[in-house]
Chain A
């Protein structure tokens, strides 16, 4: 029973830790499926978190924070789009730039507006997306096995967490069952064909980039208003890059993306849980090994040793209309 309880705890924190990854990963999915590589997920998430923290503190409204985060993240996404779609700039370079601009400006503006060393003042409960207790969670708590699973694991997460997991089937539906999704995937594989069909490559890619902005904004809000009580500098802590790794791991598909994010979230939860304590059979595993595991796994995958990750064919190439 002890083991079971410990497992529930680890899985619970797995879910909490994988939500921002999942949101950022799905965000990247829209953009990259349309042929725009985006390594600026990290920056957009960070900027979103700052906007959420700042506005939620000032207005006291979590929804206001969410709206601000989405606005800011979409703006940065549009900058990325402007550089890489309109001006056919290097998408990697543009993504790197956005990461730096977000990292620097969140600290500078945070310090100038709130004077707390780059963080926002802590937001009280009304300004946060607190845990939601699902119906009957308390009454079934004592039911063996299923009780704790329902009341601890499934219930008691933030609204945004449920939203993130709901976004997985939704994204699948959008990409594989709607006209927009079909065109989005087509523009990432063969933009010339889409153009020939009389559909604007530019507008389609801009829409994809806006979807990315919205989801990274939600991811940032989750960081600032659900996981924490306000913005802390550099709070995205490389999650945008892990999400990118998860996206590759999932071969640019929504449901595998969720599984990859849960796996990376689980590794994160284990790294926190294990700390320095020895494991049976293996002995003491340095925390750094577990921390590096998502990246090592992605490299091994990219090397083609666990299946092959084939990116969208037109990814990273600006589309030049023939003249």
Chain B
């Protein structure tokens, strides 16, 4: 993929432009709030208050952020290979099956610190398997991965509903969910960390899978920028032709990348299931797989961008609850709009304001955009 755009300094490329795009997205979201007849500034204030105002709120913010980190990393890894994994939702949903199998089998046998790795393996393995099928179809048969992963989202949803209604539901129970796990399959909370910094937390679902998410962010950075496999993934994503010349097996890279992506998405299931609800319920993913797309786009597919982007979206989710409480006219679905706008402006329209920014830079210092100093004026 050659970029038909002139150069900008790195900090503008990776910092300024995403920030401007984000601002445009929030501006448009503000217009929607105006349309509803509320004050956008007050709405923003309420959201920030609801996300960070109390220790407990911060706990919830970070709890949501944990889920989005996993799915954001999943989307980002696939992006580096030039693949659009839109199936994070389905991979996370079906990953819940792996968590359920591990927890339901071992929760009466092992302590949590053995159950946790087992559940990680289960979630990652099943998530990876769910991404493996679209990957192999893309690699070997050329079926478009976007379409197959969308289809697999629906197939995952049907499969999980069937399993929860007909197979995993305990006898005599009406609700389509598994039995509640025993305490040895509950993850320890991290609320004490917030209390360490002076917050007070009555109860929040913030748990140690947050640390796992941070670890995964680090490992993704190592994988993409510090290993041979990562180099091959980036080569494949940047120029499949160059990858072919370099003797990189296209099929192998596509399949491995998608499986890593699916495994990361699958691990998202650990956070709500083992960390909060302690059982598998219908629709426990609640769109986190799709939020991952926005998070990855905003974070520019770099872990250092994804972690703050995930926290921002966590704050929006938690703050949105507060907003809905204070302004009954605005429900939590406001976040869905913001999410869509962020995807639109940070993703599809990411180059919209670039010419203007470039012209601005060129007028200050032509050298920064790669023009010889003698020539003045924008390109």
Contact B141 A304 (CB under 8 A): yes
Closest residue to A242 on the B side, CB-wise? B154
Closest chain-A Cβ to B321's Cβ sits at a distance in Å of 15
Q: Tell me whether B143 is interfacial, beta carbon within 8 Å.
A: yes
In chain B, residues 291-326, which have Cβ atoms closer than 8 Å to a Cβ of chain A? Answer: 293, 297
Contact B343 A100 (CB under 8 A): yes
**Residue among A79, A94, A97 with the highest chain B CB neighbour number at 10 A:** A97
Contact A109 B35 (CB under 8 A): yes
Q: Tell me whether A220 is interfacial, beta carbon within 8 Å.
A: no
Contact A97 B343 (CB under 8 A): yes
A97 with B341, Cβ < 8 A, contacts A288-B159, A320-B4 known? yes
Q: Tell me whether B158 is interfacial, beta carbon within 8 Å.
A: yes
Segment of A55-63, A83-91, A162-170, A187-195 in the binding face: A83-91
A103 with B333, Cβ < 8 A, contacts A289-B158, A302-B144 known? yes
Closest chain-B Cβ to A246's Cβ sits at a distance in Å of 12
Contact B351 A100 (CB under 8 A): no
Q: Tell me whether B195 is interfacial, beta carbon within 8 Å.
A: no
Closest residue to B335 on the A side, CB-wise? A104
CA distance A112 to B151 in the complex (A): 34
Describe A's contact surface by its main secondary structure. helix
**Residue among A248, A296, A303 with the highest chain B CB neighbour number at 10 A:** A303
Contact B162 A288 (CB under 8 A): yes
Contact B151 A83 (CB under 8 A): no
Q: Tell me whether A154 is interfacial, beta carbon within 8 Å.
A: no
In chain B, residues 152-211, which have Cβ atoms closer than 8 Å to a Cβ of chain A? Answer: 152, 154-155, 158-159, 161-162, 166
A89 with B151, Cβ < 8 A, contacts A83-B344, A98-B340, A99-B340 known? no
Closest chain-A Cβ to B98's Cβ sits at a distance in Å of 19
Contact A303 B158 (CB under 8 A): no
Q: Tell me whether B137 is interfacial, beta carbon within 8 Å.
A: yes
Contact A97 B4 (CB under 8 A): no
Closest residue to B353 on the A side, CB-wise? A87
A87 with B329, Cβ < 8 A, contacts A104-B334, A105-B337 known? no
Contact B32 A299 (CB under 8 A): no
A92 with B162, Cβ < 8 A, contacts A99-B340, A100-B340 known? no
Contact B143 A302 (CB under 8 A): yes
Measured between beta carbons, the chain B residues less than 8 angstroms from A94 are 344, 347-349
Taken residue by residue from 42 to 68, chain B's Cβ proximity to chain A (1 for < 8 Å, 0 otherwise) reads as: 000000000000000000000000000
Range class of the A interface residue count: 35 or more
Closest chain-B Cβ to A169's Cβ sits at a distance in Å of 27
Closest chain-B Cβ to A28's Cβ sits at a distance in Å of 12
Taken residue by residue from 353 to 364, chain B's Cβ proximity to chain A (1 for < 8 Å, 0 otherwise) reads as: 000000000000
Q: Tell me whether B150 is interfacial, beta carbon within 8 Å.
A: yes
CA distance A309 to B141 in the complex (A): 11
CB < 8 Å neighbour of B331 from A37, A108, A238, A296: A108
Contact B333 A83 (CB under 8 A): no
Taken residue by residue from 61 to 72, chain A's Cβ proximity to chain B (1 for < 8 Å, 0 otherwise) reads as: 000000000000
Closest residue to A107 on the B side, CB-wise? B333
Closest chain-B Cβ to A34's Cβ sits at a distance in Å of 17
Contact B35 A292 (CB under 8 A): no
Measured between beta carbons, the chain B residues less than 8 angstroms from A291 are 158
CA distance A103 to B350 in the complex (A): 22
Contact B348 A101 (CB under 8 A): no
Measured between beta carbons, the chain A residues less than 8 angstroms from B336 are 100, 103-104, 107
Contact A292 B32 (CB under 8 A): no
Q: Tell me whether A226 is interfacial, beta carbon within 8 Å.
A: no
Contact A104 B155 (CB under 8 A): no
Measured between beta carbons, the chain A residues less than 8 angstroms from B340 are 96-104
Contact A100 B329 (CB under 8 A): no
Q: Tell me whether A118 is interfacial, beta carbon within 8 Å.
A: yes
CA distance A248 to B147 in the complex (A): 9
Q: Tell me whether B36 is interfacial, beta carbon within 8 Å.
A: yes
CB < 8 Å neighbour of B162 from A82, A109, A241, A286: A286
CA distance A295 to B87 in the complex (A): 13
A104 with B333, Cβ < 8 A, contacts A291-B158, A311-B144 known? yes
CA distance A102 to B36 in the complex (A): 15
CA distance A105 to B159 in the complex (A): 30
Q: Tell me whether A216 is interfacial, beta carbon within 8 Å.
A: no
Contact A299 B137 (CB under 8 A): yes
Closest residue to A94 on the B side, CB-wise? B348
Closest chain-B Cβ to A127's Cβ sits at a distance in Å of 24
Measured between beta carbons, the chain A residues less than 8 angstroms from B247 are none
Q: Tell me whether B284 is interfacial, beta carbon within 8 Å.
A: no
Q: Tell me whether A93 is interfacial, beta carbon within 8 Å.
A: yes
Q: Tell me whether B146 is interfacial, beta carbon within 8 Å.
A: yes
**Residue among A93, A111, A286 with the highest chain B CB neighbour number at 10 A:** A93
Closest residue to A99 on the B side, CB-wise? B340
**Can you name 5 A-B residue pairings with CB atoms under 8 Å?**
A39-B146, A104-B339, A108-B32, A292-B155, A299-B152
Q: Chain A residues in contact with chain B, CB under 8 A?
A: 37, 39, 79, 82-84, 87-94, 96-105, 107-109, 111-112, 118, 238, 241, 244-245, 248, 286, 288-289, 291-292, 295-296, 298-299, 302-304, 309, 311, 320
Q: Chain B residues in contact with chain A, CB under 8 A?
A: 4, 32, 35-37, 84, 86, 133, 137, 141-144, 146-148, 150-152, 154-155, 158-159, 161-162, 166, 290, 293, 297, 329-331, 333-341, 343-344, 347-352
Q: A87-B348, A90-B84, A104-B336 are in contact. List 15 more A-B contacts (CB 8 A).
A: A84-B348, A87-B351, A96-B343, A97-B347, A105-B337, A107-B336, A108-B331, A112-B36, A286-B162, A288-B162, A289-B158, A295-B155, A303-B143, A311-B144, A320-B4
